[in-house]
Amino acid sequence: MSSWLKRTTIAAFATVAFTGMAAAQVVYNRGNDADPETLDPHKTSTTYESHILRDMLEGLMAYNAAGKVVPGVAEKHEISDDGMTYRFTLRPNAKWSNGDPLKASDFVFSLRRIMDPATGAKYANILYPIKNAEKINKGQGKVEDLGVKAVDDRTLEITLEQPTPYFLELLTHQTGLPVHAASIQKHGADFVKPGNYVSNGPYVLKDFVPNSQITLEKNANFHDAQNVKIDRVVFQPQKDLAATARRFEAGELLSTSDFPADQAKALRERLGNQVRTSPRLGLYYIALNTTKENLKDPRVRQALSMVIDRELISEQVWGGAMLPAYSIVPPGIGNYKEPATVDFKDMSPIEREDKAKELLKQAGYGPGKPLKVQLRYNTTDNNKNTVVQVADDWKRIGVETSFINTDGKTHFAVLRDTNDYEAARAGWIADYSDPQNFLFILESDNKGFNYAKYNNPEYDALMDKAAKEQNLDKRADILKQAEAIALKDMPYIPVLFYGNNNLVSNKLQGWVDNPTGFHPTRYMSIKQ
């Protein structure tokens, strides 16, 4: 084993003495952005699904309460000196919720399943660093050729296409979560239903009432069950943020995943430190469908971006909880320097407006032929107020805007699976702290998240070049070139950088603000 240079030993989670089951069940009513479209981790595509899935399933690596990468099912890992091979040793007490032992072969099955084109995974490309993953997912290879091997029941070996500095963090993502093979073989697509779902994380699915709640109960077979203090977590979709805030104040919810930004000041006055805001690696943007006749011209897209008053939206709509965005990649991200920025950032509002009108005129639009844009958004008060302000900004340059709004599940299904939209509000929260995670969503073959249908061979070539570059400084320069091209073509209009905006009850202990925005229930407790 002399070729193995790096070793990560068992990370000991903080332990608390276990004093026996409380007489009454400890229940955590938790606000979540929306109903999940699926609870199949290999078909998931949203952050609000991942909050639920990470409570039910545990990957090889996981996030702790502070959003740091720690051992999950794997108690330790080793990395070869060339950075190409990872060897994971599974915990000896790792089990499924039905009592079956969890084996390395379960991860082989799961990773092959998500790469199998027949699965239809929308997010499979996040795991493309694994050897042969991209070829297999595109129907150009056999799943058996995936660079994943069970050496024995407790040893899993993963081989990569090239060294990937953020690979361990990729394995915390919902796409890297394992599924129970026997359940899928028995129930097919119905393996996700209550009573059928076999999980390996702190909780197991008890009930799912669409548009109402998802109930999880503590998994007695979880390897750290003795330190899980909350017996039941009930995820409830937040359709109306104002109503959600009222429910929080009434004590019906112990936390929310968002709050109405226009009430931020009043909420702080009433709730004090229960209003929690912190930086988050995320982009709030408007996707412009580059295949639509009215949005094909980059000059039109530049004009639409240029005239948006991001500072006003940040302060007046979001109460300062979101920051103005003039780049695709948020500041402070790992493995990067300064992000590229739009050319008009330092222009005055009047200069921007004049330039935007000139660009529209060059593209054939003006008083006699106004540009008309249909703008979709998923229904929340914050989103509505944002797109209304965007439409007001566009109106100053003669653009006529109409709106379509739906629930979150429908909205993102339309963006992902159809071409039936022109402009659409969307957001991206970092899966890992690396610029590639924001820039890869605009690659032409990213069918799941390239909502703009953007296709620029020069951009794709730079992304491919960056993927092969092992020097992090050179790689950062290549990615910055790609970002600059995207900002010139403007398929996505960056509007705001996210913040974490939560209401957190003083009764809820163990919630730690962190840039990932993930807060595993297993680390929390409730003060009675």
The encoded tokens of residue 521 equal 């229930």
Say if CB 263 and CB 486 are below 8 A apart: no
User: What is the per-residue pLDDT across 335-345, written as a single tens digit (0 to 9) for each?
Assistant: 998 899 999 99
Give the CATH class of 27-236+504-526: alpha beta
Q: Which of 523, 501, 38 is nearest to 257 (CA)?
A: 501
| Domain-wise residue ranges, the chain | 27-236+504-526, 279-499
Q: What is the pLDDT of residue 13?
A: 30
Q: What residues pair up with 157 in beta bridges, in sequence order?
A: 87, 149
Q: How far lies 511's CA from each of 41, 348, 523, in Å?
A: 24, 42, 8
Q: Which residues pair with 61 in a beta bridge?
A: 71
CATH topology of 27-236+504-526 equal to that of 279-499?
no
Q: Alpha-carbon distance 285 to 375, whole Å?
A: 12
- Residue pLDDT, tens place only, 456-473: 999 999 999 998 888 889
pLDDT of 381 reads 87
d(CA 500, CA 258): 8
pLDDT in tens, 46-97: 889 999 999 999 999 999 999 999 999 999 999 999 999 999 999 999 999 9
Quick one: tokens of 86?
């990872």
For the chain, the average pLDDT equals: 93
The per-residue DSSP string of 82-95 comes to TS-EEEEEE-TT-B
CA angle 289, 291, 297 (to 5 degrees): 85
275: left (phi over 0), alpha (psi -120 to 50) or beta: beta
Q: How confident is the model at residue 284 (pLDDT cuts 50, 70, 90)?
A: very high
Each residue's pLDDT tens digit, 90-126: 999 999 999 999 999 999 999 999 999 999 998 999 9
**397 alpha carbon, distance to own chain's centre:** 34
489 pLDDT tier (thresholds 50, 70, 90): very high
Looking at domain 279-499, does it have CATH number 3.40.50.970? no
Mean pLDDT value of segment 416-431: 95
Tell me the residue type at 212. S
Q: What is the pLDDT of residues 228-283, one digit of tens each?
A: 999 999 999 998 999 999 999 999 999 999 999 889 889 999 999 999 988 889 99
What is the mean predicted confidence (pLDDT) over 502-522? 95
CA-CA distance, 55 to 178, in Å (whole number)? 13
Q: What was the pLDDT predicted at 21?
A: 42
Residue closest to 137 by CA, chosen among 161, 105, 163: 161
DSSP designation for 365:
-
Count of other CB atoms within 10 angstroms of residue 186: 12
395 Cα distance to chain centroid: 32
The 10s digit of each residue's pLDDT in 187-231 is: 999 999 999 999 999 999 999 999 899 999 999 999 999 999 999
> How far is it, in rounded angstroms, from Cα 265 to Cα 271?
10
Distance linking the first and last C-alpha atoms of the chain: 51
Interstrand relation of 372-378 and 423-429 (parallel, antiparallel or unpaired) = parallel
pLDDT of 165 above 90: no
